[in-house]
C-alpha cells in the first residue's frame, strides 16, 4: 500500500498591509472598498487606521482595526509588509521613517512636490493635472462663447494647484484664448476674499473660470453672489473633485470634474503588490485620468434655459423612486409634447434617455465602489433588480457581471 501523499502547502506567506488615512478623507473612504476587494483577491491581511491632527499640529491615532494606542504601537504590532497612505497622512513620522527605511509605501492622492521637507519616500499615485485641464477646457470652451478664461488657485503654494493652473494655461494658449490667473494673497492675510472679489469684478465678461478644487469653486461662487455677478451668464465656474456635499449646496450648484479615487486605489494596490514581490525594484509613481465632468448650474450646458433647468432637475432627482419624464413638465413650464421636442432638439435624445444616463452613471459608481448589485438598482430609482438588469444590459450592451469583471481588470 502506497503511503499517503503529504498535502502541499504554499510557501508564499500572506502579506500584511496597513491602509492609513486622515479622519474624514472622502477619497480614502471611497477607495477602501476597492482596497478591501483587491486585498481579498491577493490574499492580503488588510488593516485600516485613521489619524487626526491635534491642537498642537501633531498627527495622532484616532482609530484602527487592530487595537493600539499610537501609530508606532500599531506598526510594531502589525509589522506590515507594505503601506497604502492617503493624502496628508503622509506626514505621520512613523510613515516617513518606514518609507526611508525601504518599506514599500504607496502614497495616494499625494503629490511628491507638496512634501514640506522636500523629500517623500515611497511612490505616489495622484490625479493627472493635464487630464483635469483638458476636461475643464473642453467644458468651458464649448459652453462659454468668449475669449477670456481664468484660474483661481488653492491657498498656499501647493504644487498640485499650480500644476492644474499651468496645464489649464497650456490648453488656453493652444486655443488662442486669454488666461487670467488670480494672484492669491497669503491665506493668513485678512481681506483675501476682498482681493478675490476685486479681481472677479475686473475680469472681462463673459469668462470661464477653473477653480483649483471644489472648495475654491464654492469660494468663487460666493463672491459672485455678493457682487451680483450672474452665473453662468457672466462668469461660468467649474471645480475639481465633485464633492457632492459642496457642489450641491452652493448657489448656483457647482459643476465639477470628477476625479477617480477608485482607480487611484486600484493603481496603488497594483504598485504595492509588485513592490512587495520585488522589494529591490520600487515602481515608478503614476498619475490617473479623471472620470469626466459633472455639469451643474454654474456652467451653461444648454442654450435653451428651459432645457438647462430640466437637465439640472434630472441630475438632482433622477435616482428618486418613481421619477419620470412627467416630472419635468412643470420645471420647463410647457406642455409634455413641447418638453420632448425642445429637449430632443437641444440634447439629441429624449428626457427618458437622460434619466437613464444619470441613473446608470450613478449605478456604475456604486458598483465600482463595491456595493452589491442587488442593492444598487433601488438606490438608483429602479423599481426592481430585474428592471435594473434589463436597462443596464439594453443601454450599455453588457451584463452587470461582465461590466464588473471588465472594470476590475
How confident is the model at residue 190, as a pLDDT?
A: 64
**Domain residue ranges of the chain, discontinuous segments joined by +:** 16-126+261-288, 129-258, 302-407
Contact 314, 154 (CB under 8 A): no
Return the C-alpha cell found at 236: 461660468
Rounded to 5 degrees, φ, ψ at 310 are -65, -40
What is d(CA 399, CA 382) in angstroms, rounded to the nearest whole number?
Answer: 16
Would you give per-residue pLDDT tens digits along the chain (409 residues)? 444 444 343 345 789 999 999 988 888 887 888 888 888 889 999 999 999 998 888 899 999 988 889 999 999 999 999 999 998 898 899 998 998 888 999 999 887 665 544 456 679 999 999 999 999 998 898 778 899 999 999 988 788 899 999 999 999 999 999 999 999 887 666 667 899 999 999 999 999 999 999 999 999 999 999 999 999 989 999 999 988 889 888 888 899 998 988 889 999 999 999 999 998 888 998 999 998 888 888 988 655 778 878 888 898 899 998 999 999 999 999 998 999 888 887 776 789 988 998 898 889 888 887 889 999 999 999 999 999 999 998 888 888 988 887 655 4
Looking at residue 1, its pLDDT comes to: 45
Q: Which residue has the cell 504590532?
A: 77
- Could you tell me if 305 and 342 are in contact, meaning their C-beta atoms sit under 8 angstroms apart? no
Among residues 51, 50, 46, the alpha carbon closest in space to that of 17 is found at 46
Confidence (pLDDT) at 122? 77
CA triple 33-39-42, angle to 5 deg: 145
pLDDT of amino acid 20: 94
Report pLDDT for 407. 58
Task: Give the H or E element holding residue 38.
Answer: helix 26-42
Torsion over CA: 134, 135, 139, 140 (sign):
negative
Q: Are 66 and 54 in contact (CB under 8 A)?
A: no
**Can you give the pLDDT at residue 114?**
57
Amino acid 187: pLDDT: 63
Fold agreement between 16-126+261-288 and 129-258 = yes
Cell of 373: 448589485
Rounded-to-integer distance, Cα 270 and Cα 34, Å: 12
Task: Calculate helix-pair angle for 400-407, 385-396, nearest 10 degrees.
Answer: 60
Q: How far apart are CA 64 and CA 60, in angstroms?
A: 11
Q: What is the CATH number of domain 302-407?
A: 1.10.10.60
The DSSP secondary structure of 288-299, one letter per residue, reads E---EEE--TTS
Res 150: pLDDT = 97
Which residues have CB under 8 Å from 27's CB, separation 6+?
86, 87, 108, 109, 259, 261, 264
Burial class (CB in 10 A: 0-12, 13-18, 19+), 218: buried
The string over 57-68, giving b where at least 16 C-beta atoms fall within 10 Å of a residue's C-beta and e elsewhere, is eebebeebeeeb
CA distances from 236 to 204, 206, 254 (A): 12, 8, 10
Closest CA to 21 of 36, 11, 31, 12: 31
Phi-psi map region of 292: left, alpha, beta (phi>0 left; psi -120 to 50 alpha): left
Tell me the backbone φ, ψ of residue 37, rounded to 5 degrees: -65, -45
How buried is residue 409: exposed, middle or buried, by Cβ count under 10 Å (0-12/13-18/19+)? exposed
Name the maximum alpha-carbon separation found in the chain: 95
**β-sheet with 105-108: strand ranges across:** 59-64, 45-53, 16-22, 82-86, 105-108, 123-127, 286-288
Residue listed under C-alpha cell 465633485 = 242
Which numeric CATH code is attached to 16-126+261-288? 3.40.50.2300
Looking at the domain 129-258, which fold is it?
A: Rossmann fold (3.40.50)
What's the confidence (pLDDT) of residue 8? 40
- Distance from CA of residue 12 to its chain's centroid? 35
Yes or no: say if 394 and 353 are a contact pair by the CB < 8 Å rule. no
Amino acid at each position: 500500500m502506497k503511503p499517503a501523499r503529504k498535502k502541499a502547502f504554499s510557501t508564499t506567506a500572506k502579506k500584511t498591509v496597513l491602509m492609513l488615512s486622515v479622519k474624514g478623507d472622502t477619497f480614502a473612504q471611497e477607495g477602501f472598498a476597492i482596497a478591501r476587494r483587491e486585498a481579498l483577491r491577493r490574499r492580503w491581511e488588510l488593516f485600516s487606521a485613521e489619524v487626526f491632527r491635534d491642537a498642537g499640529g501633531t498627527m495622532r491615532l484616532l482609530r484602527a482595526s487592530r487595537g493600539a494606542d499610537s501609530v508606532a504601537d500599531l506598526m510594531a504590532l502589525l509589522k506590515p509588509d507594505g503601506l497604502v497612505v492617503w493624502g496628508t497622512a503622509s506626514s505621520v513620522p512613523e510613515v516617513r521613517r518606514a518609507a526611508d527605511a525601504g518599506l514599500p509605501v504607496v502614497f495616494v492622492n499625494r503629490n511628491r512636490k507638496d512634501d514640506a521637507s522636500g523629500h517623500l519616500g515611497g511612490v505616489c499615485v495622484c490625479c493627472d493635472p493635464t487630464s483635469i485641464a483638458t476636461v475643464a477646457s473642453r467644458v468651458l470652451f464649448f459652453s462659454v462663447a468668449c475669449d477670456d478664461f481664468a484660474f483661481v488657485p488653492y491657498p498656499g503654494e501647493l504644487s498640485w494647484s499650480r500644476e492644474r493652473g499651468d496645464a489649464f494655461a497650456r490648453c488656453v494658449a493652444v486655443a488662442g484664448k486669454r488666461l487670467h490667473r488670480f494672484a492669491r494673497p497669503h491665506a493668513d492675510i485678512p481681506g483675501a476674499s476682498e482681493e478675490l472679489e476685486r479681481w472677479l469684478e475686473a475680469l472681462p465678461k463673459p469668462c470661464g473660470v477653473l477653480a483649483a478644487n471644489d472648495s475654491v469653486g464654492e469660494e468663487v461662487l460666493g463672491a459672485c453672489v455678493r457682487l451680483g455677478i450672474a452665473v453662468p451668464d457672466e462668469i461660468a465656474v467649474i471645480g475639481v473633485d465633485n464633492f457632492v456635499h459642496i457642489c450641491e449646496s452652493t448657489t448656483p450648484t457647482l459643476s465639477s470634474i470628477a476625479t477617480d479615487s477608485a482607480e487611484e486605489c486600484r493603481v496603488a494596490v497594483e504598485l504595492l503588490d509588485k513592490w512587495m514581490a520585488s522589494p529591490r525594484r520600487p515602481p515608478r509613481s503614476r498619475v490617473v485620468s479623471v472620470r469626466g465632468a459633472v455639469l451643474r448650474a454654474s456652467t451653461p450646458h444648454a442654450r435653451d434655459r428651459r432645457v438647462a433647468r430640466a437637465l439640472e432637475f434630472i441630475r438632482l432627482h433622477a435616482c428618486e423612486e418613481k421619477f419620470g419624464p412627467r416630472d419635468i413638465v412643470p420645471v420647463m413650464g410647457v406642455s409634455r409634447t413641447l418638453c420632448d421636442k425642445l429637449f430632443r432638439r437641444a440634447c439629441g435624445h429624449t428626457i427618458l434617455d437622460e434619466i437613464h444616463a444619470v441613473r446608470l452613471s450613478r449605478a456604475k459608481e456604486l458598483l465600482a465602489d463595491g456595493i452589491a448589485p442587488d442593492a444598487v438598482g433601488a438606490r438608483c430609482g429602479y423599481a426592481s433588480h430585474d428592471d435594473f438588469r434589463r436597462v443596464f444590459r439594453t443601454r450599455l450592451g453588457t451584463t452587470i457581471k461582465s461590466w464588473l469583471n471588465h472594470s476590475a481588470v
